[in-house]
Each structure stands twice: as structure tokens, then as C-alpha cells.
Structure 1
Amino acid sequence: MRESAAAWGLQLARALGALWTSPNTLVGLLAGVAGMAAGARPHWNRRDCALVFHRWPWGPGGAITLGMVILHTGDTLDVSCTTYEHRAGRCEHPRVRLGDHERAHVFQYMVLGPLFLPVYLLCGGVSVRNPFERAADRYAMHGRGWWPGRS
């Protein structure tokens, strides 16, 4: 009985988080649909809890998450990448799966909803200084700790 109540609670939390971050998701959908004209292809990725637009044509490469949408320049999120701290020379980390890193951002968006982007930018944007990026890397390495300050 407890397990079903816990599962139900998790599903409710995910539904509320999806609703809360829907303005961000809408921005991601608009960007993804615009990219379809240049070859992007949408795919629901259950593992990463997001609609992924693969082969998104703009940007320096890699992926960006907007709500429950991931815009990805490659063909699959099952690629390995270095962590922000490793890339900055702060430490040596094993390579992580890009999709796991982006899934952490989906969870972060579900908590902060429309506040995520301003908070993310105030915390340093796309950089090793940003605790949201370090938490996403930690989650990608260990499968836990997607929220900044948690391990």
C-alpha cells in the first residue's frame, strides 16, 4: 500500500512540475518546431522525461533544455561528454551520458518552473560556476543529487 501511495505521489509531483514549467516547455516547443524546418526531428524520450528535438540546427553543439524539451544538435543523447568541472581543469571526472545531464535540468525546471531561467542566469549561466550545472553533472555521474547542494 505504501509503495502505491509513494508511486502515486511521485506521479502527482511530476504532473504538477510539468504544469509549473509549461511556459518554459512552450518556449522549447516553439524553438524545436522552428528547427524542424531545418531538419530537426522530435522524439519523446521517456528515459529523459522530455521531448527531444535531435539534429537541432543552431548553436555550438551539444544540448540545451527548456522545460521538458531538449534541443540537441546530434542524433542521440546516448553520447558521453565531460563534466563542467573536468573541462575547466578543476578535477578529473569520468565522462557522463549527455541525456543524464539534461534530465537533471528537466527535474530542476519542474521544481522552479518559470523561475528557472532567471535563477539559472543569476547563478552564472552556462559555466562551471553555476551550481545547477555542477548538480546536473553530479546526477549524470551518480544517478542522484540533481538539485544544487544535494549529493
Structure 2
Amino acid sequence: MRIAIQTIAYLWASPYTIAGIAIGLILGGRFQRVDGVIEIHGPRIAWLLRHMIVPAQALTFGHVVFGQNQSALDCTRLHERVHVRQYERWGPLFVPMYLLFSMILFLRGRDGYRENPFEIEAYDAEERV
């Protein structure tokens, strides 16, 4: 039963996972698999993460985590694994819901990143360790 549930979770998140793998290949990233998650880093990925609207050390797409470098992947692993689980729960709805929460918060004059419920869950997991 556990294998069936995990398979469904991978399939539900697969549109973003496939996109993440494609982006990693296009950008010439270095791939590694850690605990069922593909981690990718490299100079072009680092550049993109540094130049996003909210610069990031790492970013999750389904079962793919992009990091500026290996150290960033190591430091953010727990936080990003929470996002992986969120993709497993929300599937294709994750990114639209994340952006919707951010936009609503921003329009209310609040922090669309730190006050986003998805980020709150990830940061709470870090604090518990």
C-alpha cells in the first residue's frame, strides 16, 4: 500500500518534476539523487536563483530541487523536502496556489514570501530540528 501511495504522489507531482529535469538539462546542471529527490546545481542555475524576484539558495519543482551549489543544497535540504511533500499533496495546483497566496499577501501589504503558508510550514519544520 505504501508503494502505491508513493507512486501516486510521484505521478501527481510529475508535471513539475519533468519540467525541473528539463530545465536542469538545458542549464547544464549537475544531477544527484538524494532520498528519492533529484538535486541539481551548477553555475547557470546559481545565476538564475540569485536573479529571481526573491533570490533563493534553492528552489523546488516537484521532486527536483535546484540549488546554487552543493553547500546550498545541503543547507536547505530539510526546508526544500517540505516543499517536495507539498507538491505531493497539491500536485499541479501547488504553483498556482503558492502564487495566489503570495499575491493576496502582497496586496494586503504583507510579506508574500515569509507569510506564505507554504513557506511557514517549511520554516516551521526547520525550527523543529
Pair in the same fold by TM > 0.5 = yes
Give the ranges of 4+ consecutive aligned residues of structure 1 lying more than 6 Å apart after TM superposition.
none
Contact 1:104–1:140 (Cα < 8 Å) also in 2: no
The match for 1:70 among 65, 73, 85 is 65
Which of these two proteins has the greater Rg computed from alpha carbons? 1
Q: Is 1:44 paired with 2:39?
A: no
Shift of 1:19: 0.4
Q: Of 5, 27, 45, which aligns to 2:19?
A: 27
> For the aligned residues, what is the CA RMSD?
1.7
Letter in 1 for 2:8: L
* Number of residue equivalences: 112
Please give the TM-score of this superposition, normalised by the length of structure 1.
Answer: 0.68
Q: Does 1:139 align with 2:117?
A: no
* Offset of residue 42 of structure 1: 0.3
Deviation of 1:140 after TM superposition, in Å, equals 2.2
Q: Which residue of 2 aligns with 1:4?
A: none
TM superposition score normalised by structure 2: 0.79
SS of 1:128's partner is coil
Over the matched positions of the two proteins, sequence identity in percent amounts to 31
Task: Give 3-state SS (helix, strand or coil) of 1:129's partner.
Answer: coil
Q: Which runs of 5+ in 2 are unaligned?
A: 51-55, 104-111
Instruction: Give the drift of 1:62.
Output: 0.5
1:123 is paired with a residue of what secondary structure?
helix
- Amino acid in structure 1 at the alignment position of 2:82: A
Deviations 1:86-142 (A, max 9, x none): xxxxxxxxxxxx100000000000111001100011111761120000101112222
Q: Distance in 2 between matches of 1:10 and 1:62?
A: 32
Name the structure with the higher helix share.
Answer: 2
The Cα offsets for residues 1-48 of structure 1, whole Å up to 9 and x where unpaired, read as xxxxxxxx3332221110011111111111111121xxx2000011xx
